[in-house]
A and B are shown apart, each in its own frame.
Chain A
């Protein structure tokens, strides 16, 4: 009979109407500012620079090798090498970025800078609640604004960060016995990295409920 399909459709919407009051499965809405979903560990937004310890400048892992600058597909990274040197994460004297800017209005969050970085210095943040009042100045982040502590990194990507720490510890152990031999120390992270990079992400355990969403506002 003509019209039976329409009646079936009406029954279906009625079922959903009632179901939206009764079943969690149907009413999946999360009322955002009040409720927040647990952050997914693997999720990425914009890059940040990791530093060890308390002083962002002293502990910065970046040695301004400029690989990320070259590999960045939209070319949103700008780096100037320093003229002097400071010890890097492994303890070896290295250059550091005199300037490290990321234009996040250009950045497309592709994570390629993270993949190519041999020093585990740049990682992806997953904070998404950014705002800016200036279209130009506020969206170019300098190295201070980009710096996040290793603890913060542990907070947002615990599994990944643990692996990175283990590798760095190994590299430090390698480098520590003979700090006078810079060639060996320089080789250590560079060699370790290509093999290790997949492994880092490989074991990214995923537990969506693992993170505490309350701690992540990052204005």
Chain B
């Protein structure tokens, strides 16, 4: 009975791997690696493009609910075919290219952006044995792919020959460069602890259990702080609220893609969401144990369900934050990156190292490491209060 159960669980878990294997095995041996790769790539592109479509509906409905509105509910059941309508609309719209624009670069920019956004998915394990390619330097590859996005953004902003798009591109590039540093530093703490740059290895390290609790890095003080810092940097990296200055519509209208219309605009939109999904997926891989279950008794749920459940949860957090917060100003954004995020991530790096070397039982280690993070943060709060910054004011009244 028990073995049969595990058999079913195993099958459910590996169903996609087995399916792919079945398809590939019918082919001649020479073609097998190529077809296998193509199938994986198509699957990843299809799934995440679909997830992008789904996210747009979720976002609009979620934001609507937070604002006591209904959100889109006209196309299809509960409005879930809205992305199809949006897609058709953007395809049928006129594709405007400004006369002054640099036509070739203007055309290439969305292509580069979306292509670069998709590259990162190659190393993200979406389930047990489900990864397009297991690179030895996987995390490094992810960041390399991410740095290509900046080039696309710049190309879009510059080639449009519009003042607003230039401002937007300047903002976007500055922001993405600045936040790449804390993003990488926050992940280095994980790399250091896991001792590997391979995403598959990192997940495998976290998919172990002490008692019933998994070894997710987010369950450690440095992991938790690192996760928060990583998510803040990821929000900035994917230009999401409250760091959506590059496209801040009340200031510079739409930023670097203001001169794009129709499907090219949709590509930029897709690029933003794909970036958000990719960085969320990396956060899951690094801190939330990838496809692994949080408790050992939940391990029967297929690994890919865990991955996508975590992904959707993080996406909801993005939407939630967007529904609550206004955006920062450019100098504050930079200040946050260099004066808060950078020191905190470096500190977190030290804490991660200390976690490894502080002896003693779990509670002592926990306490020491948590204190190392909380005390500087508390001091920062106190410093701000003494400078009367970021404080509510009391007002006088005239009778």
Contact = CB atoms under 8 A, between A and B. Distances in A.
B325 A16 contact: no
A14 B62 CA distance: 10
Contact of A10 (B69, B324, B390): B324
Contacts of A1: 377-378, 381
A6 interface: yes
Interface stretch (A24-32, A52-60, A122-130, A158-166): A24-32
A12 interface: yes
Given A1-B378, A6-B324, A9-B324, A16 B384 contact: no
A50 to B, nearest CB: 39
B72 interface: no
A1 B373 CA distance: 14
A13 interface: yes
Given A9-B325, A17-B62, A29 B70 contact: yes
B323 A13 contact: yes
B386 to A, nearest CB: 13
Given A1-B378, A29-B70, A31-B70, A14 B320 contact: yes
Interface in A1-43: 1-2, 6, 9-10, 12-14, 16-17, 19-21, 26-29, 31
Given A6-B325, A9-B325, A10-B324, 19 more contacts: A2-B377, A2-B384, A6-B324, A9-B324, A10-B320, A12-B324, A16-B65, A16-B66, A16-B68, A17-B62, A17-B66, A17-B320, A19-B68, A20-B65, A20-B66, A28-B68, A29-B68, A31-B70, A31-B73
Contacts of A21: 65
A13 B66 CA distance: 6
Interface in B209-234: none
A162 to B, nearest CB: 39
A27 B381 CA distance: 37
A16 B324 CA distance: 11
Contacts, number: 46
Nearest to B322: A13
Interface string B135-169: 00000000000000000000000000000000000
Contacts of A19: 68
B380 interface: yes
Nearest to B392: A5
A13 B324 contact: yes
Contacts of A12: 324
Interface of A: 1-2, 6, 9-10, 12-14, 16-17, 19-21, 26-29, 31
B391 to A, nearest CB: 10
Interface in B367-389: 377-378, 380-381, 384
A13 B384 contact: no
Contacts of A28: 68
29 contacts: A1-B377, A1-B378, A2-B381, A6-B324, A9-B324, A9-B325, A12-B324, A13-B66, A13-B320, A13-B324, A16-B66, A16-B67, A16-B68, A17-B65, A17-B66, A17-B320, A17-B323, A19-B68, A20-B65, A20-B68, A20-B69, A26-B68, A27-B68, A27-B70, A28-B68, A29-B69, A29-B70, A31-B70, A31-B73
Nearest to B378: A1
Q: 8 closest A-B pairs (Cβ-Cβ)?
A: A13-B324, A2-B381, A13-B66, A20-B65, A17-B66, A9-B324, A26-B68, A1-B381
A178 to B, nearest CB: 64
B333 interface: no
Given A10-B324, A13-B324, A17-B62, A2 B68 contact: no
B204 interface: no
A148 to B, nearest CB: 34
Nearest to A28: B68
Interface string B310-322: 0000000000110
B390 A2 contact: yes
Nearest to A10: B324
Interface string B345-386: 000000000000000000000000000000001101100100
A13 to B, nearest CB: 4
A6 B321 CA distance: 9
Contact of A2 (B62, B321, B324, B380): B380
A26 B380 CA distance: 38
A3 to B, nearest CB: 8
A9 to B, nearest CB: 5
A128 B73 CA distance: 24
B11 to A, nearest CB: 37
A46 to B, nearest CB: 29
Most B C-beta atoms less than 10 A away, residue of A1, A6, A28: A1
Nearest to A1: B381
Given A2-B390, A16-B67, A20-B65, A10 B321 contact: yes
Contacts of B384: 2
Interface in B257-288: none
Nearest to A14: B320
Contacts of A20: 65-66, 68-69
Contacts of B325: 6, 9
Contacts of A26: 68
A10 B320 CA distance: 7
A75 to B, nearest CB: 40
A109 B399 CA distance: 41
